[in-house]
Amino acid sequence: MKRVTLIDYGAGNLLNVQRAFEHVGVRVEIATEAKQIEQAEHLVFPGVGAFPEAMRRLQQKNLIGAIQQAAVDTPFLGICLGMQMMLDQGEEFESTPGLGLIAGQVKALPTRTLDGKPMKVPHMGWELIRSNHQAWSSSLLNDIPPQNAFYFVHSYYADVQNVTDQLAVFDFGGHSITAAIQREHLMGCQFHPEKSGLMGLKVIERFLDI
Partner 1 sequence: MIRLIPRLDIKSSHLIKGVKLEGLRKIGAPSEYARKYYQQGADELLYMDAVASLYGRNSLTDLIKETVKSVFIPITVGGGIRSVDDARAILRCGADKVAINTAAVQRPELIGEMAHTFGEQCVVLSIEAIRQADGRWLAFTDNGREHTGLDVVEWVKEAVNRGAGEILLTSVDQEGGRKGYDLELVQVVSSVVSVPVIASGGMGQAKDGIAAVKSGASAVAMADILHYERDTVPGIRQVLAEEGIPVRPQASIQQGGTE
Residues that bind partner 1 (CB under 8 A): 13, 15-16, 19-20, 22-23, 49, 118, 120, 122, 124-128, 143-145, 147-149, 151, 153, 155, 194-202
Catalytic pick among 33, 189, 194, 205: 194
Catalytic pick among 42, 123, 154, 192: 192
CB of 154 to partner 1, least distance (A): 9
**Closest CB to partner 1 among residues 121, 210:** 121
Instruction: Mention every residue, 6+ apart, whose C-beta is less than 8 A from residue 49.
Output: 11, 12, 81
CA-CA distance, 18 to 26, in Å (whole number)? 10
**Closest CB to partner 1 among residues 183, 192:** 192
CB of 118 to partner 1, least distance (A): 7
Helix (H) or strand (E) holding 106: strand 102-108
Catalytic pick among 80, 123, 127, 189: 80
Tell me the three state secondary structure of residue 102.
strand
**Closest CB to partner 1 among residues 18, 74:** 18
**Residue 192 falls in the annotated catalytic set:** yes
Tell me the three state secondary structure of residue 21.
helix
How does DSSP assign 36-78, residue by residue?
HHHT-SSEEE---S-HHHHHHHHHHTT-HHHHHHHTTTS-EEE
**Residue 123 falls in the annotated catalytic set:** no
Q: Which residues are catalytic?
A: 80, 192, 194
